[in-house]
Amino acid sequence: MNNLIVLPMVLPLLTGVFIVFFKSYIQVQRWGTFILLLVNVGISVIILRQIQIDGIISIDFGGWAAPFGILFVADSFAALLVLTTNIVSAICVLYAMPTIGKRRETFYFYPFVNFLVAGVNGSFLTGDIFNLFVTFEVMLLASYALITLGGTRLQLKESLKYIAINVVSSSLFLIAIAYLYGTLGTLNMAHLSMRIAESGQTPLLTVISLLFLIVFSLKSGLLLYQWLPGSYSTPPTAIAALFGALLTKVGIYALFRTFTLLFYHEQQITHTLIAIMAGVTLIGGCIGAIAYNNIRQIVAYNVVIAVGFILVGLAIMNTTAIEGAIYYLVHDMIVKALLFLLAGTMIYLTKSEKLDEMSGLIRNYPSLGWMFFITVLSLTGIPPLSGFIGKVLLGQGAIVAESYILLLLSFMSGFVVLYSLLRIFMSCFWGETIISEEEETPLSKKVIFPSAILVVLTFALGFGAESIAPYVQDAAYTLTNPSVYINAILPD
């Protein structure tokens, strides 16, 4: 039964390799990828339920027992994220089919998506910090290929920066791992946590933890987000949606993992720093979201705001706040994908990215307008929708911990999100209709259908918050009690 937790990474890898051989059979590539992702969704549901019954599941590769071999570990946090990843990527693939274009499809778009998903799932599931580096690289190499796929001038220019910054941060990651191995002599995360607890978090270890903080901040766009808006707004919509929904979240996951499992002893240094970084990220993201006139840039800056918001939960570091952050993380993966898809659809329909070149779209495309409006409400956290519960819990956590500045910043950012998106809504959907009915680009059902599924999901997550509550609570409990994780991996 434990072998199940390898599948979310292995299946996409195998499928990716398999469909490379079907270059000209696009249907095989399309539906192969889609069906695989659905299978993965099923597997992650089974894993999630299994964790509820048996506790944390782990598997030691090759039978090498825990501190010596490489292992995969699935706790509720990882399993929830794997589940959301596969759902969101399935929907992005569905959106890519009619929109991405034949050339990109024949040039291995689908295999790269498979490798990306493999890397993301692997990063969530691994229990070894060097293995985390490797799965990160799998994900990043696939993302390098995806971001340059098609090779327009702008794409090439922006991807240069994206790749350069990620290569440098990967080197920093390796340096941090080297120092960690040099001081503690192990790479297994549970074992690391145990040894840090035994020796106490010495100043040396705190410095290493700050190196990890820098690395994962670069990857997740916490404070060091300057590369993000440019590179997320150049690739085609389906790819941008995948990036916006998944890539920064992996960095966030790594931050949560390292700073709840490993470096949680010197919170007045590390977590204060995270709090400051999250606060500055919120402010910077808000300024960016208001400043631009280009829809793609506004949407990309909304990703930055969400990163700051979720990490406020980590900075506060009590069970309620972390629970809120996990809810918000799952919500954000779904809704950011939705936001990217809708913004991309608007650009596809009007052939323009500028706010002032669109007007009165609600008359041409009412369904699109309403979906966009629901997305805005969901992102702001209006009650029946999915953003609400995360915000409430995070707010409660902040009040309990008496971090009122973070509370203020994170809730003010909600207003800016509302303002920046309503600005898009008002100038693009309201006003005089400038496209006549004869001239309008027809909006095919295939294009709007994936967004509709995501809208349903955000409603479902909002109304069904109670049904995923046990999983989220278990995830938050495991994160705040490292001994649960350690005991599951190293029983003696």
Partner 1 sequence: METVIIIVAGVLVTVATYLLLSKNLIRVILGTAILTHAVHLLLMAMGGFKGESVPIISDKHTTYVDALPQALILTSIVISFAVTAFFLVLAYQVYKRTNTDDLSKLRGYRHE
Size of the site for partner 1 (CB under 8 A): 38
Nearer to partner 1 by C-beta: 191 or 271? 191
Does 171 help bind partner 1 (rule: CB under 8 A)?
A: yes
For tokens 């003010």, the residue is 412
Interface region with partner 1, contact rule CB under 8 A, candidates 99-107, 152-160, 188-196, 416-424: 152-160
* Cβ-contact 417, 290 below 8 angstroms: no
Does 234 help bind partner 1 (rule: CB under 8 A)?
A: yes
Kindly tell me which residue out of 1, 35, 38, 168 binds partner 1, with binding defined by CB under 8 A: 168
Does 157 help bind partner 1 (rule: CB under 8 A)?
A: yes
Nearer to partner 1 by C-beta: 62 or 442? 62
Does 132 help bind partner 1 (rule: CB under 8 A)?
A: no
Pairing of strands 71-74, 57-60: antiparallel
User: Within a 10 A sphere around the Cβ of 296, how many other Cβ atoms?
Assistant: 20
CA 228 to chain centre: 13
Nearer to partner 1 by C-beta: 154 or 426? 154
Amino acid at 74: A
Q: Is 58 helix (H, G, I), strand (E, B) or coil?
A: strand
Kindly tell me which residue out of 159, 193, 345, 380 binds partner 1, with binding defined by CB under 8 A: 159
Rg (CA), the chain: 22
Does 351 help bind partner 1 (rule: CB under 8 A)?
A: no
Least distance (Å) between residue 167 CB and partner 1: 5
Helix and strand element counts for the chain (H, E): 22, 2
How far is the C-alpha of 357 from the C-alpha of 485, rounded, in Å? 53
Nearer to partner 1 by C-beta: 1 or 154? 154
Binding to partner 1, residues 260-299 (CB under 8 A) = 294, 297
How far is the C-alpha of 455 from the C-alpha of 335, rounded, in Å? 8
Does 179 help bind partner 1 (rule: CB under 8 A)?
A: yes
- Is residue 303 packed enough to be buried (19+ CB in 10 Å), middle (13-18) or exposed (0-12)? buried
Kindly tell me which residue out of 55, 69, 98, 230 binds partner 1, with binding defined by CB under 8 A: 230
Q: Which residues contact 2 (CB under 8 A, 6 or more apart)?
A: 57, 58, 59
Between CA 287 and CA 292, with CA 290 as vertex, the angle to 5 degrees is 105
Does 141 help bind partner 1 (rule: CB under 8 A)?
A: yes
Least distance (Å) between residue 68 CB and partner 1: 10
- List residues near partner 1 by CB under 8 A: 130, 133-134, 137, 140-141, 144-145, 148, 151, 153-154, 156-161, 163-164, 167-168, 170-171, 174-175, 177-179, 181-182, 187, 229-230, 233-234, 294, 297
